[in-house]
Amino acid sequence: MTKLEYALLFVKNGISVFPLRHRGKEPESKLISGQWENFTTEIPSISLLERWLSSEWQNYAVVCGWENLVVIDFDNMDYYNIWMLWASTQHEIIRYACETAFKVKTSRGVHVYVRTLEPEVNGKRIKKKGGIDIQAQRKYIVGPGSVHPSGHVYQAMNEFILPVVMGGIDEILPVELFPLIVAEPETGTMPIVEFPPINTEYQSDDPFEIASGT
């Protein structure tokens, strides 16, 4: 799938996106006419998406928090593999959520996309650098199909499924296995935005990052 096709898929599922710089993680200010935070309360139109991404030149960001979207950012493949091994030993509901959750291979690890019943808080697990980030409120991640500054393509690993985790993130990311380092204050829920049915910051330790995104 192309960047535009993925971006349309997110928007049709009630999740906002916005353009980033070519092979970058920074918001493309010339295209969004303001601050990226506007997209925590607005969903772009189909015509805007096509204008932004039809050329495949721009990267794009997915805004966490919409529809209680949470992205678990494994910045280390070892932790991701440990998590998947743990998930394989759990009961069917937990195993299903972990195994079917939409996953995107990043330059160093994996983004895991899930939804929760209640808004989650942002946080870090294991350690501040090279650990696990919980991106949940007023944060964004680089969308699949985009290109990392290193040249790595953010590649989807499975089907686009956003399972709902009934008991919250701790249910599928146990603190006993992945200790909490720091949690950020909850910023509240994202509003529900209506759009036509036929249309539809986060900070990391990456040396390429300037402001936010991963």
Q: What is the pLDDT along the chain (214 residues), one digit of tens a residue?
A: 999 999 999 999 999 999 999 999 999 999 998 899 999 999 999 999 999 999 999 999 999 999 999 999 999 999 999 999 999 999 999 999 999 999 999 999 999 999 999 999 999 998 877 899 999 999 999 999 999 999 999 999 999 999 999 999 999 999 999 999 865 554 444 444 443 333 333 334 333 333 345 5
Closest listed residue to residue 121, CA positions, set 169, 75, 165, 167: 169
Helices and strands counted in the chain (H then E):
6, 11
- Identify the CA nearest to 69 among candidates 174, 189, 177, 185: 189
Cα separation, 9 vs 13, whole angstroms: 6
Distance CA(11)–CA(66), nearest Å, equals 10
The Cβ of residue 94 has, within 10 Å, a number of other Cβ atoms equal to 18
Amino acid 24: pLDDT: 94
What pLDDT, on a 0 to 100 scale, did the predictor assign at position 214?
56
The CA distance from 165 to 81, in Å, is: 20
pTM of the predicted structure, to 2 decimals: 0.84
